[in-house]
Structure 1
Amino acid sequence: MPPETLQGQSQMDSEKIILRPIEDTDVDQLHGLLNDSNNQQLVGGSVIPRSRNEVLQWLQAKRSAGDVCQFAIETGGVFCGYVQLVSINRMDGHATLGININRQFQRKGVGRLALQQLHDFARNKLLLRKILLYVRSDNQPAVKLYLDLGYQKAGTLTQHVKTVSGYVGVEIMEFML
């Protein structure tokens, strides 16, 4: 399904979203996503431009890490972004969430559906009991989404991330699977 058909939709059916392993053929899409400085600032990532080769090295490092599960988010054959669990601690049963969605797919229900699928995977396949995340306090759409999904605020790191207009806080949130 081409991206423009999603722009008028406010919600999507879960059948329209799939999580799949990220493949080398996704590198060009990842390159664009990881070099979108506005988006990267909101997800707390690096705003330093990365070459295609650096993105491929980043992907290979994630693949080889024993404590990472990373998935492409796709709808209708179109790459929408990725979701990942990092710092997976099987002994204590928790991991840290990361999600990054192309701007054209934000606020369309893609993130919500991807997270619901990731929750099921974490609970049923990884046998985790809790997911943690860090989100900028000023990223209100993301904070609202996480609260709507049942995440609870566990704390705030005040004036934690430097932006062009000063420092902003970061909310620490957790979700009991």
Structure 2
Amino acid sequence: MVTATALEAELLELAGSVPDPELPVLTLQELGVVRAARLDGPDTVEVDLTPTYTGCPAIEAMSLDIERVLRAHGMRRITVRTVLTPAWSTDDITPEGRRKLREFGIAPPRVRHDSGPVALPLGPTRTKGTADTEAEPVRCPHCGSSETELLSRFSSTACKALRRCLACREPFDHFKEL
């Protein structure tokens, strides 16, 4: 394994500081999509970026924003490489990113305790505590209630579902687990 230089670590931090174009409350580092930065010369850098899913329409905007930030730091030649392996997972969202999602009114994805594919339950659309299903309930980001219902499997973006709290009746987005 190759150890990153201090400059590569700094460039990775700069690339990771870019806000996500679809969820500007999160940085790309908090979302977990910026994977590496490698120097290929004194002013040349290659950044690995993993989209949240292969058809992510924001990947181009992310790449352009990363290039802009790194150019401002003196890099002249920047390549942002889309890397699909290993695939991004909602487990890659940092604890700080999960906190920011909740504060922004989006229920963060539930933390998975195993690896591998995510099961897609086709049962009831309401969640009522841990007895409802084997998964943790989707909690309302407004009042914290575990009694919520699914309104639509898709919301403003493909990675979010639209839910409603049965306690406070407020609708909210839920960042789906992947």
TM-score (norm 1): 0.31
Structure of higher RCO (CA pairs closer than 8 Å, 6+ residues apart): 1
TM-score (norm 2): 0.30
Between Structure 1 and Structure 2, the one with more helix by share is 1
